[in-house]
Structure 1
Amino acid sequence: MTSLENQLAKLLQDHGLIIGTVESATGGMIAERLTSVSGASKYFKGGLVTYHNELKIRLCGVRYETLLAYGAVSPQVAEEMAAGGRKALGVDICLSDSGIAGPGGESAGKPVGLFYIGLATPEGVWSRKFIFKGNRGENRGQAVAAALKWAVEHLANG
């Protein structure tokens, strides 16, 4: 079976689209997977790692009010990261993530393993919620796979 990054590379090229990323909890792992494919410069423009809230605000336009009201790990922030990243990077599609990889960091209503993936395209902005049950590395890896899989599904069905 072809890897998710290879499937996405083909779909992006078939559609003539450029992708970018804005990552928090995955720390650049989505971008790493995208650039692991030879010829990635044809469809991948770049990515931002906005681990700290200050960078979420300054680099990709997340509103301070959104962070205050919902917290960094929220569908609202994941969507603002994706939408702002799409604009900042000048790309057709932007994937974002925010999550609690673990082992610490959980809070009321936000367990370890909670991730929100954002997707922004010219047609709109969405987020998906995931709760992974692994250790820190496994949770981050599952979030990367979920983001790539969603982008593949979006392009294959749209």
Structure 2
Amino acid sequence: MDPVLADIFRLSKDLLEKAQTRGVTIGVVESCTGGLLGAAITAMPGSSTVFMGGFMTYSNDLKERLVGVSHDTLRKHGAVSEDTAREMAAGARERLGVDLAISITGVAGPGGGSAEKPIGTVCFGLATSDGVSSETQLFADMTRNRVRDYAVMHAMKCLSEAVG
């Protein structure tokens, strides 16, 4: 098995065990990963005890309609921004009724990058009962699929830390 995929499955198993032990529910909202995070979480037996569901909002229209990202945020900051990632996570947490929601939005490539947001730029939002945080990671010099894989791994690490 590909070592990166093995890491994803290990992280998923660890995340689910921690969330089950603490009774924490999880939801996701994904753009550039196209459902890979939800798929990785639900690949583990027993995931339904903590994973409530998610949204795949590849288009800006769906970011607005499904999870409540402001049109102004998208216009001012773009889909790949921490502002958008925060609104995605907050909207998913509210709409799914979960303890934790994470969002992923980025430029996986091979096109679509810019000087400000090069290929491999991925923004994450994490919504909890304490509020919403965000961060940006650059997964440089990787193929499209590797950017997406590393984004999934990073999201699972963020969720695992948030679970405690």
**2:152 corresponds to:** 144
State the alpha-carbon separation in 1 of the partners of residues 48 and 163 from structure 2: 19
C-alpha distance in 1, partners of 2:160/2:18?
A: 7
Q: Amino acid of the residue matched to residue 18 of structure 1?
A: T
Aligned equivalents of 2:74, 2:109: Cα separation in 1: 20
Task: Give the equivalent residue in structure 2 for 1:38.
Answer: 45
What is the rounded CA distance, in whole Å, between the counterparts of 1:154 and 1:40 in structure 2?
A: 17
Matched, 1:135 2:143: yes
* 1:54 is aligned to 2:65: no
Aligned-residue sequence identity (percent) comes to 46
Superposition deviation, residue 107 in structure 1: 2.0
Query: SS of the counterpart of 1:119?
Result: strand
Q: 2:124 aligns with which of 108, 117, 128?
A: 117
Runs of 4+ in 1 over 3 A off after TM superposition: none
Residue type matched to 2:148 in 1? R
What 5-or-longer segments of structure 1 have no aligned partner? Answer: none
Distance in 1 between residues matched to 2:18 and 2:85, nearest whole Å: 23
Gap regions ≥5 residues in structure 2: 1-6
Cα distance in 1, alignment partners of residues 137 and 25 from structure 2? 25
Amino acid paired to 2:34: G
Distance 2:71 2:41 in 1: 30
Per the TM alignment, residue 43 of structure 1 is displaced from its structure 2 partner at its CA by 0.3
| Partners of 2:35 and 2:70 in 1: CA distance | 22
- Cα distance, 1:151 vs structure 2: 1.1
Shift of 1:108: 3.4
Q: TM-score, normalised by structure 1?
A: 0.96
Matched, 1:5 2:12: yes
* 2:23 matches 1:28: no
- Equivalent residue for 2:162? 154
Q: 1:17 aligns to what SS in structure 2?
A: coil
Which amino acid is 1:64 matched to? H
> In structure 2, what residue type is equivalent to 1:112?
I
CA–CA distance in structure 1, aligned partners of residues 58 and 25 of structure 2: 23
What is the aligned length? 156
